[in-house]
Amino acid sequence: MNRLINRRTVLRGAGVALTLPWLASLAPRSAGAAAVTYPKRFLPIYFPNGSAEWWRPTTAGVGDAWSLSPILQPFQALKKKMIVLTGMENYSAFGPTNPDIEPSHGRAPGAFLACVDATLVRQQTKIDDSNGISVDQVIAQSDQYKSLTNAASMQVGLSTWESYCDGKPCSVSRSISWKSPTEPMYKQVDPGTVFTALMSGITPSGPATMPDPEAEKRKVLGKSVLDAVYDNAKNTQARLGTADKAKLDQFLTSVREVENKAMGVSQGITSANCSPVTKPTLVAAPKGIQTNSAAYSKEAHADVMNDLIVMAFQCDVTRIISYMLEDERSEFEYSHVPKRQFSATGSVNPTNMSDTCGNYHGAQHAGANNNEFSSINWWQSVKIADLCTKLDAISDGEGVTALDNTIVMYASCMHGGNLYTNDLPVALIGGGGGILKTNQHVKYPDTPGDRPMRDLYFTILNKFYNLGVQSFGVNTKGTPNQYLQEILNA
């Protein structure tokens, strides 16, 4: 008999509400549980500065007819659950013909999930921090989904450096999620704060979140969140079958491991005096953590944020997460990434592993296929492939993984070193609940032109979430929304 996936069991204690992952022993077995409903998740992942040309696969097609590009080769084990889209554009949100949107770093990211020109919205509202409502928030605020989880959505990121905003309001380049035309949903970069919020059963909000008193007490006493739910966990284990007891033990162990990593990275961020403000303002020069050090590791930061995103989905705390790998025009020094040697068939580590990458934005402008820029993109692919692999290892039910019911969108707001907003690097990972025709590279033709990003979001809103949205975003060519039929199963 099929089992209905519904509200999860929650372990409660002082200041803790730890939602358990799906366990067969706790699933209802009533006659009315014949139809299976799975969570529908959306994870847009943003990386700045575009990509090197080694991102784009050379051949289009389905199955064995196409191969992953050198920068996307870290996804090889997930290729069958992947779609690469070449020829997507967002310039039609700004003007009908010109993909050269200036200042690009200060304007293009505003359109990433909203597909509008934030400058025009700003003129209408007379408020500096203005943009369109982003696609993730259209889903999160819909009547069908806004009450399904404790947190309607989450916004997280890795940014530690207040990058230059190209003379535009910084909300556009430091936030991709917008609740309303005047409400940017700023990301939380401190993993300790995100972990505490997840364990408390509340929305992990932006940098201004007040300290949780129970969490502060645990920190002083050297206690874990698991100490608060020990008795509840013991009672729950008594209700489980042998296999689920092992799964619960494994889950609780992973919670403790993530807790340790999150608090460690958090201490590194705060000890380096990186305290992001709630409402960023334009600054003459960046400030914050620009390089790796004994106190801060970008590698560790990315790893623990991956774990927190996986935990948020596994525990069904939220089903919508926007993830910024960096702010736009990132100037972070990627000294932890060796400069790999790229060719048309792949890449290899350098002979001298101490030859590492430097300034991210500088690498963007060092040539279309330079090894430094390509290596930073490759490192990002490694991290996102790891995140997706972890989602694919989580059971949503019998024979179904969390990745099968998720659409991960891994993309940037611009092409690359030319700063254009056409031919964007875009990849989808996950099955989308079975609606996506995966294992393919779709290349849209140069004539009549690139395919608008708004059509991808229109497809997700209506074919995955069934929201009945009449239109999404702006197209100054006057072209109405159309579904991306190429990515849909018949």
Q: 180 forms bridges with which residues in the sheet?
A: 183
Nearest alpha-carbon partner for 333 in 382, 292, 373: 292
In a domain? residue 51: yes
In a domain? residue 8: no
Task: State the total domains in the chain.
Answer: 1
> What is the extent of the structural domain holding 137?
39-487
More confident residue, 489 or 4: 489
Nearest alpha-carbon partner for 373 in 409, 347, 345: 347
The distance in angstroms from the start CA to the end CA of the chain is 27
In a domain? residue 15: no
Residues 6+ away with beta carbon under 8 Å from 397: 3, 5, 22, 27, 36, 38
Nearest alpha-carbon partner for 323 in 139, 158, 129: 158
The pLDDT confidence band at residue 210, using thresholds 50, 70 and 90, is low
Phi, psi dihedrals of residue 424, rounded to the nearest 5°: -75, 145
Worst-scoring range by mean pLDDT, 17-26, 154-163, 388-397, 420-429?
A: 17-26
The pLDDT confidence band at residue 274, using thresholds 50, 70 and 90, is very low
pLDDT at res. 29: 57
In a domain? residue 402: yes
The pLDDT confidence band at residue 218, using thresholds 50, 70 and 90, is low
The pLDDT confidence band at residue 285, using thresholds 50, 70 and 90, is very low
Q: How many percent of the chain have pLDDT more than 90?
A: 67
Q: How many percent of the chain have pLDDT more than 70?
A: 88
More confident residue, 321 or 27: 321
Helix segments in 315-420, DSSP class H = 360-364, 371-392
What mean pLDDT is predicted for residues 221-228? 75
pLDDT at res. 275: 39
pLDDT at res. 203: 57
In a domain? residue 336: yes
What mean pLDDT is predicted for residues 367-391? 95
In a domain? residue 452: yes
Q: Confirm if 10 and 18 have CB atoms less than 8 A apart.
A: yes
CATH number at residue 61: 3.40.720
What span, in angstroms and rounded, lies between the C-alpha atoms of 213 and 74? Answer: 41
pLDDT of 282 strictly over 80: no
The pLDDT confidence band at residue 480, using thresholds 50, 70 and 90, is very high
In a domain? residue 22: no
In a domain? residue 28: no
pLDDT at res. 326: 96
pLDDT at res. 224: 83
What mean pLDDT is predicted for residues 47-68? 97
What mean pLDDT is predicted for residues 412-436? 97
How far apart, in Å, are the Cα atoms of 141 and each of 120, 171, 198, 487? Answer: 24, 21, 20, 25
pLDDT at res. 214: 61
Alpha carbon 380 to chain centroid, angstroms: 12
Worst-scoring range by mean pLDDT, 60-64, 85-89, 260-264, 296-300?
A: 260-264
Give the model confidence (pLDDT) of 317-359 as tens digits: 899 999 999 999 999 999 999 999 999 999 999 999 999 999 9
